[in-house]
């Protein structure tokens, strides 16, 4: 197999003792490509170091950005560093808005998010979006700038909105990413979206260390568990497994322009 985990946080502290083993298990499980998603500058830089120094069979790609939870850390110096370093990364993010936890205020989150969107537009990089209870605001930020956006502006990570919103983001050129939530019993709405999204507009992810799929639910997630989400997707789609696998890989490469 040749699966692409388009969203995992392997530079986070959760993997500091187990990184090597995790990468090895992931390769053995059939994962071939990983995007190492930053939640702030430091772990983005760590992700780049991991990707630069890694000598094994996987292909690793780092991103750089500030998670909405940490948006209170956004200031002039962060903005300058992000701008200076972004060329060395495949994407801007993870950014977005999270009105569920509100670890940072709405104003702080919007300020950081809009900066990331403008930077991604300027540098023609895809953007990685985290969206929780904030879909209207995220959509309007992009809709207002639609004429300036690059043709495939990025990915809605861990997509968990309904069909109507899926269509709106697909119309803006976004890819939708499906996570282990696909395997959760109560996730009927998300399975419906994954069924109806054009195959060449979707990707899959683990969001490790979070959101482990069934039967690992509640444990620390790993890219090695990506096959569980892939298998579930194959069950709910009509295309052959081989076609789904090939298309997911191709689409993930298009998304990150690699």
Q: What is the binding site for Zn ion (CB under 5 A)?
A: 94
User: How many whole angstroms separate alpha carbon 91 and alpha carbon 124?
Assistant: 9
CA dist 214 to 89, 163, 165, Å?
Answer: 32, 23, 26
User: How many whole angstroms separate alpha carbon 220 and alpha carbon 227?
Assistant: 15
Residue whose CB is less far from Zn ion, 177 or 247: 177
Backbone angles phi, psi at 36, to 5 degrees: -90, 110
Compute the 3-state secondary structure of the chain and give helix, strand, coil in percent, each to the nearest 5.
50, 15, 35
Residue whose CB is less far from Zn ion, 179 or 251: 179
Least distance from Zn ion to the Cβ atom of residue 132, Å? 11
Residue whose CB is less far from Zn ion, 65 or 153: 65
What are 54-57's contacts with CB under 8 Å, separation 24+?
A: 54/23, 56/23, 56/24, 56/27, 57/27, 57/32
Residue whose CB is less far from Zn ion, 43 or 245: 43
């Amino acid at each position: 197999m040749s699966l692409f985990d388009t969203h995992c946080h392997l530079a986070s502290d959760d993997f500091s003792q187990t990184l090597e083993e995790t990468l090895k298990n992931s390769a053995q499980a059939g994962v071939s490509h990983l995007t190492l998603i930053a939640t702030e500058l430091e772990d983005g830089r760590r992700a780049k170091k991991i990707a630069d120094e890694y000598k094994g069979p996987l292909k690793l790609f780092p991103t750089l950005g500030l998670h909405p939870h940490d948006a209170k850390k956004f200031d002039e110096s962060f903005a300058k560093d992000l701008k200076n370093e972004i060329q060395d990364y495949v994407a801007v993010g993870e950014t977005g808005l999270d009105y569920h936890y509100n670890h940072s205020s709405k104003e702080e989150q919007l300020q950081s998010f809009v900066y990331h969107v403008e930077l991604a537009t300027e540098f023609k990089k895809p953007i990685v979006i985290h969206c929780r209870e904030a879909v209207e605001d995220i959509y309007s930020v992009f809709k207002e700038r639609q004429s300036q956006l690059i043709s495939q502006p990025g990915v809605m990570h861990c997509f968990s909105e309904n069909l109507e919103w899926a269509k709106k983001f697909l119309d803006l050129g976004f890819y939708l990413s499906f996570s282990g939530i696909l395997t959760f019993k109560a996730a009927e709405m998300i399975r419906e979206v994954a069924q109806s999204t054009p195959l060449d507009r979707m990707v899959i992810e683990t969001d490790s260390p979070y959101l482990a799929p069934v039967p690992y639910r509640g444990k620390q997630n790993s890219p090695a568990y990506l096959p569980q989400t892939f298998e579930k997707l194959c069950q709910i789609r009509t295309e052959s497994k081989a076609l789904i696998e090939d298309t997911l890989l191709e689409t993930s490469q298009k998304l990150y322009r690699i």
